[in-house]
Chains A and B, each alone.
Chain A
Amino acid sequence: MNVLGMQTLFAKEVRRFMRVPGQTVLSPLISTTLYFIVFGYSISGRVQTVDGTPYLHFIVPGLVFLGIANNAFLNSSSSLFITKIQGTVVDLLVSPLGPGELMAGFIGGAMVRGLVVGGLTWAVAALFTGFSLEHAWVAAYFLLLSSYVFSVLGMLAAVWAEKFEQINFFPTFVMLPLTFLGGVFYSVRTLPSPWKEVSLFNPMVYMVEGLRYGMLGQSSFSPAVGGAILAGVAVVATVVTWMVLKSGYKMKA
């Protein structure tokens, strides 16, 4: 295994997004914080609590999840896609970096960005709501695994995409609706039928609820369900990505 090669790619990925912190960290942090302020303060006037938790507190885990998922996905997808577009993918394909090393480098870098944005979002929210961490291991599990899953999915999207329009397809048409309809700003249990039942098919619901359990100690569903779904998605996405990279699909002529 080319450990130094993998570390180099990882360090390069982290340095790459840190070279433009305004775009990669500050901008999403401001967006997520605005969600917190606008949604939190506008709705908390009418919805005082959700399942006994103050509304402002209730939305924090979802917003942290949103920051992690979006930024982990965007980092791996944009970095690998731009590498393809500007031709520097040649450096990666010629060098002795196998699928495992490529995944570790890109996913590691994307996880760091997702966790940095998620962590900063959490810190900003804590200024308004105070810090809450009820089940540290559960929270850590969901933080790490959700950043991993969306980094892998971002990599897959980058391999598949051939145009800028395609690389924007997943965040705009898949991730954004699923996260906004995934119980970030409301409890799925409070939805009327049939939306409640429809929402149960949205895997984001369980991921948000799992993190909510870890951070606030309350959840509409057992965190084990979210944990299992997240682990399942992680395994499938990892295997598929490894096989795709191994085959050279859309990477080699």
Chain B
Amino acid sequence: MSTTPALELQGLTKRYGNFTALHSMDLAIRPGEIFALLGPNGAGKTTMIGSVCGLVKKTSGTIRVFGKDLDQDSVGPRYEIGLVPQEINFDPFFSVAESLRIQLGYYGRPRDEARIDEVLTALNLQAKKDAMTRALSGGMKRRLLIAKALVHKPRLVFLDEPTAGVDVELRRDLWTYVRRLASEGTTIVLTTHYLEEAEELADRVGIINEGKLLMVEDKATLLRRFGERRVVVTFDHPQAALSEVGRRFAASLSADGRTLTYVEREGCAPSGELLRALYAEGQPIADVETRRSRMEDVLIEILRGRPQAA
């Protein structure tokens, strides 16, 4: 696979008057990866995507799509790009199939009914192929947006909140389809408020806040580094005080002495070791409950400015 990044940003800056929406962003997205860009509302996610997709005029910096500088050629690289915008839009004069045929044409591709059927089937819209777009429900309009972004087989796809307002079943279907696209070599840049979505799909995660890219990390590394496993051990009988094992593992005992809580972070002893030590110590364990951090917890931790654990 090519080593040229699918998308490369160098010093990308966007200012609106005195407000800086993007602060000199540097980022390289590998071909074929699913990259999730996470951050609160107004963090700069859509501005970044808009700058690449030609919707926002950048103030400064360089954008390269598959090695091509958009300052040198602002049109050519767009053949490779597909965008699912955040806001639903549709042209009420046309049917679903006509909208997709128009989209294909915009990208210089001839009419391709097989491709249209493939995308509509994948997005569960086949039955609405000849329906006028104005007659679609909100969720269906969202699916049509996705179909329009994908129909011309772009190599770099931006999904800006693609599943907002979409039912759970379709969301799952879309995830499957996104994974399939990525397995076929399509690079996906995803922004979402459903952090479960990022956790489910992303290879790497970028976290952005107030226009600054705070961190880019492999999802697994991020979860390991910033995530934690919380182990709650319930005893048969209340404990009078924290045992020697409890102190060694820096665990905490509840006020009633019935539960011991251990927070396992990167660099700490694994929770299995704690359990073995407690058994060896002869503690009367009644129940063990564990909970691993999810992307949501990690994001909150990072946005609150928790220093890197490792």
Write the residues of chain A forming the contact surface with B, with a CB cutoff of 8 angstroms: 2-5, 7-9, 11-12, 15-16, 19-20, 83, 86-88, 90-98, 248, 252-253
Q: Indicate if B110 sits at the interface (CB-CB under 8 A).
A: yes
A15 to B108, CA, bound (A): 19
Q: Which residues of A contact B19 (CB under 8 A)?
A: none
Per the bound structure, the CA–CA distance linking A77 and B104 in Å amounts to: 24
Offer 9 A-B interface pairs, CB within 8 angstroms, sorted by A. Answer: A2-B106, A5-B105, A9-B106, A88-B91, A91-B89, A93-B55, A94-B81, A95-B103, A96-B106
- B77: nearest residue on chain A (CB-CB)? A96
Kindly list chain B residues whose C-beta atoms are within 8 Å of the C-beta of A8: 102, 104-106
Q: How far is the CA of A20 from the CA of B103 in the complex (A)?
A: 22
- Chain B residue nearest to A95 (CB atoms) is B106
* Contact indicator B108/A5 (Cβ below 8 Å): yes
Query: B55 is contacted by which of A16, A20, A94 (Cβ under 8 Å)?
Result: A94
Given contacts A93-B53, A94-B78, 12 further A-B contacts (CB under 8 A): A4-B110, A12-B94, A15-B94, A88-B90, A88-B91, A90-B83, A91-B148, A94-B83, A95-B78, A95-B103, A97-B106, A252-B56
- B107–A95 CB distance below 8 A: yes
Q: Mostly helix, strand, loop or mixed at chain B's interface? A: loop
A-B interface pairs (CB < 8 A), number: 87
CB distance from B102 to the nearest CB of A (A): 5
Please determine whether A88 and B57 come into contact, CB atoms closer than 8 angstroms.
Answer: no
The interface residues of chain A lying within 8 Å CB-to-CB of B185 are none
Q: Which residues of A contact B103 (CB under 8 A)?
A: 91, 95
Q: CB-CB < 8 A to A12: which residues of B?
A: 94, 102, 105
Least distance between B191 CB and chain A CB atoms (Å): 15
List the B residue with the shortest CB-CB distance to A3.
B108
When chains A and B are docked, how far (Å) is the Cα of A87 from the Cα of B83?
13
CA distance A98 to B79 in the complex (A): 12
Most central of A2, A9, A20 by chain B CB within 10 Å: A2
Q: How far is the CA of A180 from the CA of B106 in the complex (A)?
A: 39
The answer to whether B75 has its CB under 8 Å from any CB of chain A is: yes
**B85, A87: Cβ atoms closer than 8 Å:** yes
Q: In the complex, how many angstroms separate the beta carbon of B42 from the nearest chain A beta carbon? A: 14
Shortest C-beta distance, A6 to chain B (Å), equals 9
Within 210-251 of B, Cβ neighbours of A (below 8 Å) are at: none
Per the 8 Å Cβ criterion, residues 53-102 of B in contact with A are 53-57, 74-76, 78-79, 81-83, 85, 87-94, 102
Q: Are B105 and A4 in contact (CB under 8 A)?
A: yes
Inter-chain contact B91/A86, CB cutoff 8 Å: yes
Known contacts A88-B91, A252-B56, A253-B57; is-contact A5 B83 (Cβ 8 Å): no
**Are the C-beta atoms of A90 and B75 separated by less than 8 Å?**
no
Asked if A91 contacts B106 (CB within 8 A), the reply is yes
Choose one: B54, B75, B82, B89; the contact of A2 (CB below 8 Å): B75
Query: Contacts A19-B93, A87-B85, A96-B79 given: A4-B108 contact, CB under 8 Å?
Result: yes
Are A86 and B93 in contact, CB atoms less than 8 angstroms apart?
no
Chain A residues near B106 (CB, 8 Å)?
2, 5, 8-9, 91-92, 95-97
Tell me if A94 and B57 are in contact (CB < 8 A).
no
Verify if B50 is at the interface (C-beta below 8 Å from A): yes
**Assembled-state Cα–Cα distance A245/B226 (Å):** 46
Known: A7-B105, A86-B89, A96-B79. A253 touches B55 (CB 8 A): yes
**B180 touches A (CB below 8 Å):** no
Q: Collect the chain B residues with CB atoms within 8 Å of residue A252's CB.
A: 50, 54-57
Within the assembled complex, what's the spacing in Å between the Cα atoms of A112 and B108? 23
Contact of A90 among B79, B89, B104, B105 (CB under 8 A): B89
